[in-house]
Structure 1
């Protein structure tokens, strides 16, 4: 399992579309929005939670089609499906590798980009907490979407259409955590709901993804 994780991390970095592309997209979005909206700090602070979360969500979406594509093209996915390692474990490792190369860097970069939006000081902690808790759900859900479209030519658009509706609850509760934290309000309810989505997705979707992959490989 550790060797598989190391292999996926190496492929994600060498093949591109992961660490660098996601961060670059996040940075470009964070720069363009203040330029388009204007320099008013009050307006930027009000839209900061939603914009930062939308940016993180779209940045995660960029590399989803590569989770299984390379393995499918070189035949590695067939070997992984018949390996002694449970396919559910393989899917979980794929999701973890995606989060380490995309979700984690975005989480670490978000507070720096929050400065561009005049995010209140009380919101930075909750921005990091919400992204740390919510981005794993984006990777797990995205892995399920990638499993549904594995083997399809030009499946990137279909993958986006399938995954984006499933991302909405995570986006809503994640942005709400940051908004309430920045305003000094209680974040318990959206934080618990965000955690429930992440843990529920991590517990159930690897099994669904593994089943879909087995069907697609027949």
Structure 2
């Protein structure tokens, strides 16, 4: 009897594991067209709202600083840590060669990360892998949590992780699809506003240590050029995502 009981428990665990893997990596129905349209409009209104944007911008900051951190490690730089602040600013500290491709790519990764993440998310959505998308977001947040070095940053990442986990564990399939679609559109659209904001600050000479100005000093190319590169890339990612999801 004991052997049968153990065998039955092992079978149930195996079935549960198989179901989890199937749900995570298998394709579910892609979000309905109306869900994609409604969540896209909602994301656009969030980004355009002067009341909602200051709070929602923390998500873009997480992606921005996470991009710096990921590329710093990928290019062989020593990552000292990431700090996220209540005013939606952030800073990623790494050490290594003060010039060269590694530091250029690290600095350039910030403004490009939200758009590239959004484009990748759109690819998963278009193939119906909503569960996998949510789990990838959780995994990226947990990796970032390891390198965050201030209390507000830890709290922000933990809250974001809890929200995504709550949706992935307890929400219905339609709610998960809507949440994932909104997050995707928000990353894509939310990547654009900081680029516009940093250029406005540069015109007023209030952003001398901004990423475009750091890149200007590193490469000899003007900061305006780098703002343009960020803008074109972000618009291209948005267009590519829209083509994959809606057209």
Q: What is the TM-score of this pair, normalised by structure 1?
A: 0.36
The higher radius of gyration belongs to: 2
Bigger strand fraction: 2
Q: What is the TM-score of this pair, normalised by structure 2?
A: 0.33
Bigger helix fraction: 1
